[in-house]
Amino acid sequence: MKRGLFLSFFIRIAIALGFVALMRVWFAPRGWVIGTVLVIAWAGINAYLLTLSVRRNIDLLQTSTVAIPDRRIGAIDHSYSDFDGLARAISEASDHVGRALNDASESRRELEAMIDSMQDAVIAVDPAGRIQWTNQRMQKLIPGTSFSSSIRIGHALVQTIRDPEILDCVRTSLELRIISEGRSMSLLPGRIFEVNVSPMPGGGAVAVLHDITRIEQVERTQRDFVANVSHELRTPLTSITGYVETLLDHEASLSRAAREFLTIILKNATRMNRLTEDLLVMARVESSEQELHPAPIPADVLVRDAVLAMSGLVQDAEAVLEIGEISTAEVFADTDAILQVLSNLIENGIKYGQARNETHCRVVVSSRDVSDPIEAVEFSVRDFGPGIASEHLGRIFERFYRVDKARSRESGGTGLGLAIARHMVQTHGGSIRAESELNAGSTFIFTLPKAQSVVE
């Protein structure tokens, strides 16, 4: 509108100036007077017309200014009505989030109360090894500090716990993202802790320290008792066995009944001797008192020596003992300990590996190279007897566990052979397992690391 007014004004001025110039030409020399009069008249008419135009435009502008806000308000009111549903949804979502946060806070408080009530010490660290949270039991374990300042959140774990076993387990779990286990004996003097560290899905790890001091004391007492009793039993049992053997071998005047009774006494005395020997070996192995002297030795030499050592038992039991595939690689092992492992497995195969309707049993001893997860040699002792049911495979390496108790008593088994084998193999850094199928025999397999793997 403003541009239109200025344009109209300039056009009228231009027309007036042109009219004055024309009058001067037509009515010279009096033309300028007439032109001036006409210009004044023209200017008055233009001023009047311009005033009317301005008033008309101002009235139109006022009318538009009054009408437009009404329309805008209506449009604004109408447009804001479309957001009512969104506003309600946002309000409901806000209430829901508030309730969820309250529930989460309550759950967190309950979880913290539950963890604080645990008898085990629990501590969590972030991926960088900084402490995130801990329970009261863990706080009380740290010596020489109060509850409020014993463990500082956000500080490195190594600044609070100096035990190398715990730190090593945490480091392994953080780096490899696996469950790490260990034993701590230096966190508190005179206390033994079982350490279990598990990685958390979002990063970091949780360490649980279980106090097994009392359990270790009880087990140590039991081992000492068994070792002492077994040691004390050896002397009288040796005397009984010696005297009975002497009577059976050199006393010709014995009646048939007396000889039968003495044979039963000798059989049970021999069984008791074996049981005491196994108990002593088991006590030494579990308490780490048995000193091992591992050295590189070819796997085929171990197999041949074990088969040769069991040749007498094979003849008495009318069994067939074979050597299968053998590896010539060197393993890092204590010769006497591994020979005892192989002897126990071969003896079990001879005792329990006889198939039905067969007059003798067959046992195959083998060894082969494996490389998973490290370079090792896998030894196996296989029989072709009735096999072992799957529900027993997970427990046959436990002490005194027997699949067939009646048959074990008949054969004179002590129930400790496989347990001793497991401990000795694990002491060498290997593993042992059993594979079996009913009526298809059983295979006992254990691995030993190769000498080069141990050196590397």
For residue 344, give the nearest of 304, 384, 390, 313 by alpha carbon.
Answer: 313
Tell me, yes or no, whether 195 and 266 share the same domain.
no
Residue 398, helix vs strand vs coil = coil
Tell me, yes or no, whether 416 and 353 share the same domain.
yes
With vertex at residue 78, the alpha carbon angle to CA 72 and CA 80, rounded to the nearest 5 degrees, is 100
Tell me, yes or no, whether 305 and 169 share the same domain.
no
| The pLDDT value given to residue 201 | 86
| The pLDDT value given to residue 17 | 60
Taking only the tens place, the pLDDT of each residue in 389-408 is 888 888 888 887 777 665 55
Q: Let me know: does 433 contact 396? Beta carbons within 8 Å.
A: no
Tell me, yes or no, whether 335 and 417 share the same domain.
yes
Strands (E), 230-279: none
| The pLDDT value given to residue 76 | 46
Distance CA 308, CA 315 (A): 12
Tell me, yes or no, whether 203 and 230 share the same domain.
no
Q: Is the peptide bond before 298 cis (omega within 30 degrees of 0)?
A: no
Kindly list the distances between the CA atom of residue 256 and the CA atoms of 35, 248, 250, in Å, as whole numbers in the listed order. Answer: 176, 11, 14
Domain that holds residue 356: 295-455
206 pLDDT exceeds 50? yes
Query: Is residue 94, in this structure, part of any structural domain at all?
Result: no
195 pLDDT exceeds 70? yes
188 pLDDT exceeds 90? no
Taking only the tens place, the pLDDT of each residue in 102-157 is 766 666 666 666 666 677 888 889 998 898 888 888 877 775 544 444 677 888 88
| pLDDT, averaged across the chain | 77
pLDDT band at 62 (very low <50, low <70, confident <90, very high): low
| pLDDT-above-90 percentage for the chain | 10
The answer to which of 28-37, 192-201, 247-256 has the lowest mean pLDDT is 28-37
For residue 169, give the nearest of 178, 137, 216 by alpha carbon.
Answer: 178
Query: Is residue 89, in this structure, part of any structural domain at all?
Result: no
Query: Is residue 87, in this structure, part of any structural domain at all?
Result: no
For residue 401, give the nearest of 386, 385, 382, 388 by alpha carbon.
Answer: 388
Q: When comparing pLDDT for 43 and 222, which is higher?
A: 222
Tell me, yes or no, whether 198 and 272 share the same domain.
no
Strands (E), 299-350: 320-323, 330-333
Taking only the tens place, the pLDDT of each residue in 18-47 is 655 555 555 545 555 555 556 566 656 665
For residue 384, give the nearest of 313, 435, 323, 440 by alpha carbon.
Answer: 440
Tell me, yes or no, whether 175 and 198 share the same domain.
yes
Element spanning 311, H or E:
helix 311-317
Tell me, yes or no, whether 312 and 431 share the same domain.
yes
Tell me, yes or no, whether 328 and 441 share the same domain.
yes
Top mean pLDDT of 14-28, 244-258, 347-361, 403-417 is at 244-258
Tell me, yes or no, whether 309 and 432 share the same domain.
yes
Distance CA 135, CA 137 (A): 6
Tell me, yes or no, whether 335 and 443 share the same domain.
yes
Mean pLDDT of 90-95: 72
For residue 380, give the nearest of 368, 371, 389 by alpha carbon.
Answer: 368
pLDDT band at 93 (very low <50, low <70, confident <90, very high): confident
Domain boundary among 178, 196, 211: 211
Query: What count of other Cβ atoms lies within 10 Å of the Cβ of residue 318?
Result: 11
Q: Which residue has the tokens 């000798």?
A: 266
Can you name the residues that pair with 378 across neighbouring β-strands?
Answer: 368, 447
| The pLDDT value given to residue 202 | 80
| The pLDDT value given to residue 4 | 52
| pLDDT-above-70 percentage for the chain | 69
74 pLDDT exceeds 50? no
Q: Domain tally for the chain?
A: 4
Query: Is residue 113, in this structure, part of any structural domain at all?
Result: no
CATH code assigned at 227: 1.10.287
Q: Let me know: does 301 contact 323? Beta carbons within 8 Å.
A: no
304 pLDDT exceeds 60? yes
> What is the pTM for the complete model shown?
0.55
pLDDT band at 446 (very low <50, low <70, confident <90, very high): very high
Taking only the tens place, the pLDDT of each residue in 312-359 is 776 666 778 888 888 888 998 999 889 989 988 988 888 877 766 666
Question: For the residues of 355-385, what is the DSSP string, one character each?
Answer: PTT-SS-EEEEEEEEE-SSSSEEEEEEEE-S
Residue 230, helix vs strand vs coil = helix
| The pLDDT value given to residue 215 | 86
